Amino acid sequence: MAEKRGCGFDSLVRDCYRSGGYVFAPSPATLQDRHAITRIARLASNENPDPPSPRAIEMAVAALSQANRYPDEHVTGLVRALREYHGPYNFVVGVGMDGVIETILRTLVAAGDRVVVSTPTFSFYRLAAIGQGAEVREVLRRKDFSVDITRFLKEAQAAKVAFLCSPNNPTGTVTSCSEVEEILGAMEGVLFLDNAYVEFCYEDYRPLMKKYDNLIIGRTMSKAFSLAGLRVGYAFVPDWIVPCYSRAATPFSLNSVSAAAAIGALQDPAHVARARDRVFGLRKMVTERCRFPVTPSGANFVLVDVSPRTGREVSEELATKGVLVRSCESFPGLGDQYIRVSIGEEWEMELFISEINRL
Ligand code: PMP
């Protein structure tokens, strides 16, 4: 047996995991310790400020008492609840949409295959694709953050998988159904359309599933459904994906308590409607009253251009006032002059507006 070598194992670690990695939003605990602030506006992670639906909690508690058993490997109850909520589509589920993205890539992408992303966007597509040994191509969005379809297609035509986020994180930009169709019609590979924030816009992409069998639509229960801490994601998939996805997935990855909570949450659509109404109202308020330019958003957050200051400076300054927002400097393809601000409760947005307008 080898003797203990301390840090001498670096050469065993794959190149892609020697540095970099997912950038997490600042945590409220750090802020509490650093600035002794007790009431914090948590506007950095695009969560729903409402606790989960009582029905979700009730079902999760009931499931906990049977946690000595492994979950149902087919997640039958949740798939049935998804069909009741959305209609007769094919679904796969995962540990958050992050888990779905990872399993889809594991299912489809081998080392050297091309994966395309439309930047600036959610960072995990790239990270998960690199984990598969993919060749990642980033296609820059236009100045107004809309997708340059011609440039995107030039790269995506030969891709195994292309990712498109709508509404896009961190810009909030919505790509229309007709633009998505233009891409789908010209692609040989699969388009993964990330709809994490779709409940907060007016576009409905689900009908496209009936027309295209190279489309996957990712969804999450972390935002509109208030279940971020339970990690439930799912996707609308063409039928050919279902058996291969099951083979590639980690066994029993979605735990039984989370699956039960998700079923309960889907049975309370009024919860989502409340979140949607609040986001529509407060997003408009922030857009109108913020003295810095706000990018039009279809999500539960807005991107604010704080130039000539940097996103880092402004987010650090807001933190000292008890307002946590996300500096966007870590998003490739975006300048360093942006912050992303989640739409929280009314008092949080009032506090944000008064502090940012005072800068
Ligand atoms: N896609 C986008 C665009 C996101 O912003 C996020 C979460 N920040 C996810 C996917 C992952 O969501 P989940 O919490 O379901 O893993």
pLDDT at 33 over 80: no
338: pLDDT confidence band, cut at 50, 70 and 90?
Answer: very high
Q: What is the pLDDT of residue 3?
A: 67
**Pocket lining: 103 vs ligand 1, CB cutoff 6 Å:** no
Report the sign of the C-alpha dihedral through residues 74, 270, 177, 43, in that order.
Answer: negative
Q: Do both 173 and 274 map to the same domain? A: no
**Pocket lining: 98 vs ligand 1, CB cutoff 6 Å:** yes
The total number of structural domains that make up the chain: 2
CA distance 220 to 100: 10
pLDDT tens digits, one per residue of 60-86: 999 999 999 999 999 999 999 999 999
Indicate the Cα dihedral angle 199, 206, 217, 258, nearest 10°. 60
pLDDT at 1 over 70: no
The gap from C-alpha 136 to its chain's centroid, in whole angstroms, comes to: 19
290 within some domain: yes
CA-nearest residue, atom 12 of ligand 1:
97
Least confident of 16-20, 47-51, 234-238, 302-306: 16-20
pLDDT tens digits, one per residue of 105-139: 999 999 999 999 999 999 999 999 999 999 999 99
Amino acid at 102: E
Question: Which helix (H) or strand (E) segment is 234 a member of?
Answer: strand 232-237
CB 337, CB 307: distance < 8 Å: yes
Say how many Å lie between the CA of residue 227 and the centre of ligand 1: 12
Q: What is the pLDDT of residue 20?
A: 86
Atom of ligand 1 at shortest range from CA of 221 = 15
Q: Do both 161 and 179 map to the same domain? A: yes
CA geometry: angle at 94 spanning 91 and 96, to 5°? 120
CA-nearest residue, atom 1 of ligand 1:
196
Q: Do both 171 and 276 map to the same domain? A: no
Say how many Å lie between the CA of residue 294 and the centre of ligand 1: 22
CB 307, CB 328: distance < 8 Å: no
Range of the structural domain that residue 288 is part of: 15-50+270-356
Amino acid at 158: A
Indicate the Cα dihedral angle 143, 352, 31, 20, nearest 10°. -10
CA distance 205 to 281: 23
CA distance 32 to 85: 40
Which residue, among 300, 273, 272, has the nearest Cα to 197 in the 3D structure?
A: 300
DSSP-assigned letter for residue 243: H
CATH number of the domain where residue 80 is located: 3.40.640.10
11: pLDDT confidence band, cut at 50, 70 and 90?
Answer: confident
Q: What is the pLDDT of residue 10?
A: 81
Say how many Å lie between the CA of residue 198 and the centre of ligand 1: 12
Q: What is the mean pLDDT of residues 81-96?
A: 98
CATH number of the domain where residue 30 is located: 3.90.1150.10
Q: How far is CA 258 from CA 37, 67, 94, 173, 350, in A?
A: 32, 11, 10, 30, 33
Which residue, among 117, 118, 107, 124, has the nearest Cα to 141 in the 3D structure?
A: 118
**Pocket lining: 118 vs ligand 1, CB cutoff 6 Å:** no
CA-nearest residue, atom 2 of ligand 1:
196
Last residue of a domain, one of 222, 245, 268: 268
**Pocket lining: 215 vs ligand 1, CB cutoff 6 Å:** no
Q: What is the pLDDT of residue 6?
A: 63
Say how many Å lie between the CA of residue 221 and the centre of ligand 1: 9
Q: Do both 74 and 91 map to the same domain? A: yes
3 within some domain: no
